[in-house]
């Protein structure tokens, strides 16, 4: 039997790899998608082989992740429950897709993952697999009683890893769980399970990897410009101080063309420098419980804000309101694991149409955890100063026209009031 395991090199999947080999008498192929974990990938192949894998496949999927998953989601303005930029959620369908492809190439009959039986990732992996390869068996050790009996908690897993010579970052003194990719880092469990615990406290100051605390960010604001083409950011320029920007009126040269991956990498660096994108939330999991998560999404926070700014200038009002009304549904589909569903694909087609004219430049100011708009312009702009002006020009808009407009919209309100007075 061959099993393709979604492998991160962390505590759970390192232990699961050895457990699958022993309990299923299987050849385990460890697969790790490089979607921006950076230093977490160092020594991964050696660790996987030491842990019992017959092969370790590490593939660079960063560009595909940004282009085909993150950017379409940001075009939709997706944000779950008003706070979460879906960094973990959007990574799972790509990983599952590649696992299915590898299982076909390696003639494996099953795929496996280390998602707990309480979380969302189990749903995301398995719904994606069901959509792409309904014949493949999915093994979820955390849902097997024999696995949970052996490992009732993380302390038992840490002890198992130590006894079997498997190096892992988690310790009994630092037991929180971390998941990193190009879009964000998420932190859960351990001390973070108490929603009253201050995630900005000095006690876990060293937990954060992508950003400084806002109070430790530079005292000087930094300006940057983002160029958009049909709803996608295609270039970033930055590095101007507030004094330089005030003198020139711009952040510098026009943004140079970048790939989606380069855009996010650049924005992560700039956002992290200024303490942008830290979020501490209690969210509603798909399985029914609430959970507390802490996230770092510096580049994503900038991109989401800038995208909205260029939309305000270029999108038709009714098109914007229609798309905005679908944001909760779209976000739920991503969060709950329905990326490869027909309804998400249908929504994406509508989103793509709404982004046709979302092109132009957005100038931002980054300062101590804040993203502040400093200007926007577009050849597709629907803003006309001749119409919007408060001056006396009536050639484009005559205020007296509003009289009938208001009278007609007030008619039903008057009729209702008259009826209730009877």
229-264: per-residue pLDDT in tens?
999 999 999 866 655 554 555 445 667 789 999 999
Model pLDDT, residue 251:
46
Strands 2-6 and 110-112: parallel
Catalytic residue among 62, 92, 363, 376: 92
344 is catalytic: no
The mean pLDDT value for 280-296 works out to 96
Residue 415 belongs to what H/E stretch? helix 401-421
Instruction: Output Rg (C-alpha) for the chain, integer angstroms.
Output: 25
Catalytic residue among 8, 51, 62, 121: 121
Report the alpha-carbon distance of residue 205 to residue 227 in Å, rounded.
Answer: 34
Model pLDDT, residue 252:
52
206 is catalytic: no
pLDDT tens by residue, 187-198: 998 889 999 999
Model pLDDT, residue 155:
86
Inter-residue contact 44 to 70 (CB < 8 Å): no
pLDDT tens by residue, 393-421: 667 788 888 999 999 999 999 999 999 98
pLDDT tens by residue, 75-89: 999 999 999 999 999
Inter-residue contact 338 to 86 (CB < 8 Å): no
Catalytic residue among 177, 186, 237, 245: 177
Model pLDDT, residue 256:
76
Model pLDDT, residue 44:
92
- Smallest CA-to-CA distance from 20 within 128, 125, 112, 94 is with 112
Q: Cα-Cα-Cα-Cα dihedral of 167, 56, 269, 281, to 10°?
A: -70
pLDDT tens by residue, 331-389: 999 999 999 999 999 999 999 999 999 999 999 999 999 999 999 999 999 999 888 87
Catalytic residue among 8, 12, 211, 245: 12
Model pLDDT, residue 167:
73
Mean pLDDT of the chain: 92
12 is catalytic: yes
Strand order in the sheet with 185-188: 177-180, 185-188, 290-296, 278-284
At 392, is the pLDDT very low, low, confident or very high (cuts 50, 70, 90)?
low
The mean pLDDT value for 104-128 works out to 95
395 is catalytic: no
Task: Check whether 222 has a pLDDT greater than 60.
Answer: yes
């Amino acid at each position: 039997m061959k099993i393709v395991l979604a492998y991160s090199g962390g505590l759970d999947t390192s232990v699961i790899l050895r457990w699958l080999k022993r309990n299923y008498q299987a050849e385990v192929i460890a697969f790790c998608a490089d979607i921006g974990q950076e230093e977490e990938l160092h020594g991964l192949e050696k660790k996987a082989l030491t842990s019992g894998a017959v092969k370790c496949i590490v593939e660079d999927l960063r560009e595909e992740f940004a282009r085909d998953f993150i950017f379409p989601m940001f075009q939709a303005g997706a944000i779950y429950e008003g706070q979460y930029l879906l960094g973990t959620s959007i990574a799972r369908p790509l990983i599952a897709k590649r696992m299915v492809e590898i299982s076909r190439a390696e003639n494996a009959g099953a795929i496996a993952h280390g998602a707990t039986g309480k979380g969302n990732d189990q749903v995301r992996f398995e719904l994606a697999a069901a959509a792409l390869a309904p014949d493949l068996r999915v093994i979820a050790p955390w849902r097997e009683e024999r696995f949970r009996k052996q490992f009732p908690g993380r302390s038992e897993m840490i002890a198992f890893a130590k006894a079997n010579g498997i190096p892992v970052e988690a310790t009994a003194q630092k037991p929180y769980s971390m998941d990193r990719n190009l879009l964000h880092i998420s932190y859960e469990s351990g001390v973070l399970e108490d929603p009253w615990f201050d995630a900005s406290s000095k006690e876990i100051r060293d937990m954060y990897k992508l950003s400084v605390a806002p109070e430790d960010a530079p005292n000087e604001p930094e300006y940057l410009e983002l160029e958009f083409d049909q709803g996608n950011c295609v270039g970033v320029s930055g590095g101007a101080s507030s004094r330089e920007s005030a003198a020139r009126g711009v952040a510098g040269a026009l943004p140079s063309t970048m790939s989606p991956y380069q855009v996010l990498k650049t924005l992560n660096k700039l956002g992290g420098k200024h303490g942008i994108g830290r979020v501490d939330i209690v969210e509603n999991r798909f399985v029914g419980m609430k959970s507390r998560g802490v996230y770092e999404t510096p580049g994503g926070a900038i991109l989401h804000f800038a995208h909205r700014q260029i939309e305000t200038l270029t999108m038709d009002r009714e098109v914007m309101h229609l798309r905005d009304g679908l944001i909760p549904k779209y976000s739920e589909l991503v969060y709950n694991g329905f990326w490869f569903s027909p309804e998400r694909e249908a929504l994406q087609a509508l989103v793509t149409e709404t982004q046709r004219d979302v092109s132009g430049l957005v100038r931002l100011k980054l300062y101590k955890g804040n993203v502040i708009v400093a200007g926007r312009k577009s050849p597709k702009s629907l803003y006309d100063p001749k119409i919007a002006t408060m001056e006396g020009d009536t050639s484009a808009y005559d205020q007296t026209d509003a009289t009938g407009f208001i009278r007609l919209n007030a008619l039903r309100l008057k009729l209702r009031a008259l009826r209730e007075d009877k």
